[in-house]
Amino acid sequence: MKDEIALTAYKCKKCGKLHYPFHDRCLECRGREFDKVKPQGNAKLLTYTAIFNLPWGFDQRFLILGVAEFQNQVKAMGQIKAESTDKLKVGMPVKPSWEPIRVQNGEDVYGLKFEPM
């Protein structure tokens, strides 16, 4: 596990809208200048889904993916550490971490994970 969530969102300097992933122009005001923003604090689960047909490189039988919103409004998608979707609820707090999510060419690929709290 790594301490830092290696994910950057982009906040429009004009109107303050957050973008993740990066867009050339602000979706709100077409502005072109952005401040980099790191996700902060814990996150709140906005939506989730289970995926059963995984691409090569995953050794799990299925994955639960979710979109969560951090305390500073950055939204991002990640894997949810849960055995099933039974105990998941929209709006529940989740703890973000940056961990290997799969292996590609013999190397770990890191990504975002959320652990229900």
Residues that bind Zn ion (CB under 5 A): 12, 14-15, 17, 26, 28-29, 31
Residue 91: CB partners within 8 Å, gap ≥ 6? Answer: 44, 45, 46
Q: How far from 4 is each of 7, 38, 77, CA to CA, in Å?
A: 9, 9, 16
What's the closest the beta carbon of residue 8 comes to Zn ion, in angstroms?
Answer: 17
What's the closest the beta carbon of residue 72 comes to Zn ion, in angstroms?
Answer: 17
Nearer to Zn ion, 26 or 43 (CB): 26
Nearer to Zn ion, 28 or 108 (CB): 28
Nearer to Zn ion, 23 or 38 (CB): 23
What's the closest the beta carbon of residue 29 comes to Zn ion, in angstroms?
Answer: 3
What is the C-alpha to C-alpha distance for residues 37 and 71, in angstroms, rounded to an integer?
12
